[in-house]
Amino acid sequence: MCDVGGFDDPCQVWAKTTPRARREYPCVQCDRPIVKGERYLRVGALYDGCWTTVIAHVACDEIARHIAFEVCEQEIYFLESDTTLRENVREHMGEAPEVLRMYRDHLRQRNQAERGAA
């Protein structure tokens, strides 16, 4: 996550919302389901004339933002679909133990939500 190469220019247009899921979606960060009825983060962006939309658990985005801003000291953050949250946690848990704790707590909440939806 520390390398933000390729994102020198900001996107032309973007929209960030937190709708409530009407059906189950996979989270782009942890690949676990966003269950029906749960609030999630939806980011749409226009890069080089192409519109892209990514969705993630709000908690996954918060952990990824913490890693980007607090651990890596980046000035910019993008919700990525090519790097998983698990990879980022493994990369940075040695230098920032709170990242592992945040991720563990998130996985516990996911397990409870998934059991409740079943």
Task: With cut-offs at 50, 70 and 90, classify the pLDDT of residue 117.
Answer: low
pTM listed for this prediction: 0.73
Work out the percent of the chain whose per-residue pLDDT is above 70: 81
Q: Identify residue 18 by its one-letter amino acid code.
A: T
Query: What is the pLDDT, as a whole number, of residue 5?
Result: 40
Query: What is the pLDDT, as a whole number, of residue 82?
Result: 58
**pLDDT tens-digit profile of 18-27?**
999 999 999 9
Q: Where are the domains of the chain?
A: 13-117
C-alpha span between 1 and 55 (Å, rounded): 18
C-alpha span between 47 and 6 (Å, rounded): 11
